[in-house]
């Protein structure tokens, strides 16, 4: 599955990291979402229910998945 982050939509709500440890925060940017183990704003992962839940649960749709 492909995951894309839209940091301009992130409000640092923190929900995504509670569902998947693939998400983390950028301490230098007020807690805006980043990938924990990947550089950049887009990455491919094996299909993962927790990643999908994190994506679907983001209140501002800052995490796109397909």
Binding site for ligand SF4 (CB under 6 A): 10-16, 33, 58-60, 62-63
Per the CB < 8 A criterion, the answer to whether 16 and 33 are in contact is yes
In the bound complex, what is the minimum distance in angstroms from residue 60's beta carbon to ligand SF4?
Answer: 5
Structural tokens at position 48: 């993962």
Q: CB 41 → ligand SF4: shortest distance, Å?
A: 11
Of 37 and 59, the one with the shorter C-beta distance to ligand SF4 is 59
Cβ-count burial 13-23 (b if 16+ within 10 Å, e if not): eeebbebbebb
Q: How far is the CB of 44 from ligand SF4 (least distance, A)?
A: 18
């Amino acid at each position: 599955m492909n995951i894309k982050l839209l940091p301009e939509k992130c409000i640092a709500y923190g929900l995504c990291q509670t569902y998947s440890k693939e998400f983390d925060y950028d301490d230098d940017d007020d807690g805006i979402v980043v990938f924990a183990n990947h550089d950049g704003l887009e990455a491919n992962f094996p299909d993962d229910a927790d990643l999908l839940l994190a994506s679907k649960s983001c209140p501002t749709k800052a995490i796109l998945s397909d």
